[in-house]
Amino acid sequence: MDKETLAITLGIIFGFAARLRLLQSDYRQYPTYPHGQVIHLALGLIASALGAVAIPALLKPDYTAVTFLTLAAQQFRDVRNMERETLQKLDETELVPRGFSYIEGIAMVFEGRNYIVILAALFTSAAVMFGGWITGVVVGIVAIVLSSLLKSGKNMGQIGAVYEVPLRVEGASLYAADIYLMNIGLPDNRKRILENGVGIVIEPLNASSRITISNLGQRQAILHDVSSILGVTRDSGEPALTPLAKLDLKDGRLGLVTLPQEKNIPKIIQVIKNVPVLESAVRKPNQFDAKKQV
């Protein structure tokens, strides 16, 4: 086998392995069905083939082959649109929707992962071309490990303290501790919310996390995750039984009422702590430098 073929083969193998490793179905239950997974694996295979071919083509030298890479980037941007559209359609049938920010985050990840696959394949094939097949294998394994590290972002537990508070009703108003949540007209609904509901407060740790927590998309993501993992006592035609999050404007604490089917407080707190911090919700006012001239 000549060097080019070996480089391309190893590049594809490691690129594909990286995609396999990044594709996991977890509690978000997406993509779950084999067909959904096949779509992403097939795209991953194409991505790895593209990455693997680039360096051998450059060395050959076959410069036109490299221009195909730009064409490929265009292809993978469509992945994001595809995911966004699917998830938005599905969101309409959710009792507690994910919200646009969460969907955008997931769609972005799907696009990003294809680029990671291209890079992993590219580095592997480059290593084979300049080193040998052993170097290629080592670089490929390192690339897969690095790509797994890129997978994880921050979660809510790192930016806020999460604890349970009692829910109470004053007249028709529902409060979580001292944070006003909503006005519930029917006494029957008030009773059901007090019975099934769990009040939670998320206290931001600093100024940056205060802004993140106040983001509406981030709040919806928290409510969606709690509802999808622990179930939700809700149905259509029951608008009062809506999990809800409201801010205390004075100190930035977020008060939530969740309506889990399984009233397991430590688990609810753990689920909230594991909710990913959405990229679109992150702001960093701490890094603003007043002395710096813009």
Partner 1 sequence: MNEKILAIITTAPDLVAGGGSPVFVTKDEEELLERAFLLEKILDAMVHKLNESTYIIVKH
Q: Which residues bind partner 1 (CB under 8 A)?
A: 171-172, 183-189, 236-237, 239-240, 242
CB of 210 to partner 1, least distance (A): 26
Q: Toward partner 1, which CB reaches closer, 67 or 173?
A: 173
CB of 238 to partner 1, least distance (A): 8
Q: Report the candidate in 20, 2, 27 with the shortest Cα–Cα distance to residue 226.
A: 27
Both tokens assigned to 10 = 């190893």
Q: Toward partner 1, which CB reaches closer, 109 or 240?
A: 240
CB of 172 to partner 1, least distance (A): 4
- CB count within 10 Å of CB 248 equals 16
Q: Toward partner 1, which CB reaches closer, 140 or 217?
A: 217
Q: Toward partner 1, which CB reaches closer, 171 or 266?
A: 171
CB of 38 to partner 1, least distance (A): 38
Residue 7 to residue 66: CA distance in whole angstroms: 16
User: Using an 8 Å Cβ cutoff, are 190 and 257 in contact?
Assistant: no
- Give me the DSSP letters along 180-217: EEEE---HHHHHHHHHH-EEEEEEESSHHHHHHHH-HH
Q: Toward partner 1, which CB reaches closer, 13 or 169?
A: 169
Residue 50 to residue 121: CA distance in whole angstroms: 8
CB of 239 to partner 1, least distance (A): 4
